[in-house]
Amino acid sequence: MTQQQPNILFIMADQMAAPVLKMYGGKVAKTPHLDALAERGQVFDSAYCNSPLCAPSRFVLMSGQLPSKIGAYDNAANFPADIPTFAHYLRREGYKTALSGKMHFCGPDQLHGYEERLTTDIYPADYGWVVDWENFEERPSYYHNMSSVTQAGVAVRTNQLDFDDEVVFQAQRYLNDYVRGSDERPFCLTVSMTHPHDPYACLQEYWDRYSNDEIDMPSFEIDDDQQDPHSKRLLHVYQKDRSQIADQKIRDARHAYYGNCSYVDDQIGALLQTLKNTGLDKNTIVVFSGDHGDMLGERGLWYKMSYFEWSARVPMIIAAPEGLQGFDFGAGRIRQSISTMDLLPTFVEWATGHDDTDYAMPLDGRSLNPHLRGDNANAHDEVIGEYMGEGVTSPMFMIRRGDFKYVCCGDDPEQLFNLKDDPSEQHNLAELPECADRVAAFRAEAAERWDVEAITRDVIINQKRRRVVTAAHQQGKEVKWDHQPIFDASTMYMRNNIDLDDLERRARFPVVD
């Protein structure tokens, strides 16, 4: 090893749409800590999730593999225990790996390479949320509906506040314990908050940071009956009827969402302050990203589950300490299109110091280190997406390359957008004669890349298997896969198994002789 292995603090925010943030041109959200992190780090202008839904996006991010390769189909997909994640690879290279917060692992393995998990998850670990492509019209009760919008406003407490307050507290405790401990291994700590994910309810403190007048309405809407076929299916999924939603409720939903972005920002500020207080900021690379975005009423759509920019684009910042040998990436902006799937090989290169790791299975993700080091000759500019969750009855695919984004899904009309000329995706170019050659090339590439019939068959069989397992587990003694954090109380606070002076000396930081 020719360079020191850096600590990695990986912070995630759930459903944070990149376009709302100041670093991406947003005018409303107040996020000073993120703004400061962006000022000293590398900001990825065109970062995407590969599958715009919570669990699939996270499984892909953790494994560096596209959904169809690992069965990451929907929010109740089993994440196989034998799929290596970045936590496995880093742990093999000598890292302490810990997770505080949400990762939406489904199945009996709730660690997936993490040595420690500091909290339970906010979402269930079973297969209860399995999608049923063969009975699309039978809408399950667990699907999103529009209550998040119609009930938007101020709350004293919510499930999500309870969860994220604990997530950040446990992460700070982990950092404080690390600096007071004797374990010399570098750490990779993932801190994954569930905000600003709907429901759109926030504390009065954060609501009051914004006035009603400064909350922007969606830049444009499309009438429900004029939507493309996939978007119409999404309207069915979350039971949207625009005629039943007042403009003020849309403004309230966005108001609370912005408030929750500020809440997330304050939690990030607390984490970064803990790094500084402990001196860990000097050798810790901070990575911030999201799992997917939120349409927030843009185009008349809400939540995620599509490849439109507000749904599929995510914020991403990588900030390394100034002067950290081998990792002084500096500040700047990276224009090429990349994805969260690229984080695994990036992290592994940081841990190993080289780019020729023998991975257990070929990766779909590609390292971001050429981008960080200004090596444009080796920096990719491409994102591949696969979506098999709610709102489709056959696989949906996306290819983002250069200025263009191509989307296809079964018999739906193809979509082609020039994001340089049309960043809000108002003009589908797929049927224009002058774009026929480009569309044909993308269509041929998609046909070569994906066997639609085979993937569809695999998804439906997988859905049937999980429904059988779920029905069985609901009979008799119910199976519980949810992670149960265990704390050894015998080693916490004041105990008689250690001399009082020694205990106080070990627990205090900085150490006092």
Q: Catalytic amino acids?
A: 54, 104
Of 294, 295, 343, whose CA–CA distance to 16 is shortest? Answer: 294
**293 contacts 310 by C-beta, under 8 angstroms:** yes
Residue with tokens 């900021």: 281
**Is the bond into 199 cis (omega within 30 degrees of 0)?**
yes
The span from the CA of 115 to the CA of 466, in Å, is 28
Amino acid at 158: T
Which helix (DSSP H) or strand (DSSP E) does residue 75 occupy?
none
Three-state secondary-structure class, residue 156:
coil
Which helix (DSSP H) or strand (DSSP E) does residue 412 occupy?
none
Burial of 457: CB neighbours in 10 Å, binned 0-12, 13-18, 19+: exposed
Locate all alpha helices (DSSP H) within 7-93, ordered by sequence.
Answer: 32-40, 54-63, 67-70, 86-92
User: Buried (b) or exposed (e) across 89-126, using 16+ Cβ within 10 A?
Assistant: bbbebebbbbbbbbbbbbbebbbbbbbebbbbbbbbbb
The span from the CA of 32 to the CA of 22, in Å, is 9
Which helix (DSSP H) or strand (DSSP E) does residue 168 occupy?
helix 159-180
Residues in Cβ contact with 369 at an 8 Å cutoff, skipping those fewer than 6 apart: 346, 349, 350, 355, 375
Residues in Cβ contact with 44 at an 8 Å cutoff, skipping those fewer than 6 apart: 316, 317, 318, 333, 334, 338, 368, 371
In sign, the C-alpha dihedral spanning 271, 353, 332, 28 is negative
User: Buried (b) or exposed (e) across 436-452, using 16+ Cβ within 10 A?
Assistant: eebbeebeeebeeebee
Which helix (DSSP H) or strand (DSSP E) does residue 103 occupy?
none
Strands (E), 216-278: none
Tokens of 156: 């004293």
Of 159, 158, 163, whose CA–CA distance to 119 is shortest? Answer: 163
